[in-house]
Amino acid sequence: QLIPLFLIIGSGGVGAGLYLMRLAVFNPDVSWDKKNNPEPWNKMSPSDQYKFYSVNVDYSKLKKDRPDF
């Protein structure tokens, strides 16, 4: 009777681990290579989607509204 409980808790743990791994690899706030790209958030274009889920936003149609540094 405990098998479904272990399956649900295990799948939740695996899902949380995968989400944390996604944040560590694809989030622009995390910099793994400080020598070649010390500020990765400045190299993001407006058409890059870095959020996991966005409601009613089409990133391909966004225009750049900030200067280059």
Whether the CA torsion 20, 26, 32, 34 is positive or negative: it is negative
| Residue 7 maps to a domain | yes
- pTM for the model stands at 0.57
Indicate whether 66 belongs to any domain: no
With respect to residue 67, please indicate whether it lies within any of the assigned structural domains.
no
Taking only the tens of pLDDT, the chain with its 69 residues reads 899 999 999 999 999 999 999 888 877 777 777 787 777 777 776 666 666 666 777 767 777 666 766
Q: Confirm whether 68 is domain-assigned.
A: no
Indicate the Cα dihedral angle 64, 62, 24, 32, nearest 10°: -20
Instruction: Decide if 16 is inside a domain.
Output: yes
The whole domain housing 34 covers 2-61
Q: Domains in the chain: how many in total?
A: 1
- Beta-carbon contacts of 29 under 8 Å, excluding residues fewer than 6 positions away, are 41
Please give the single-letter amino acid code of residue 8: I
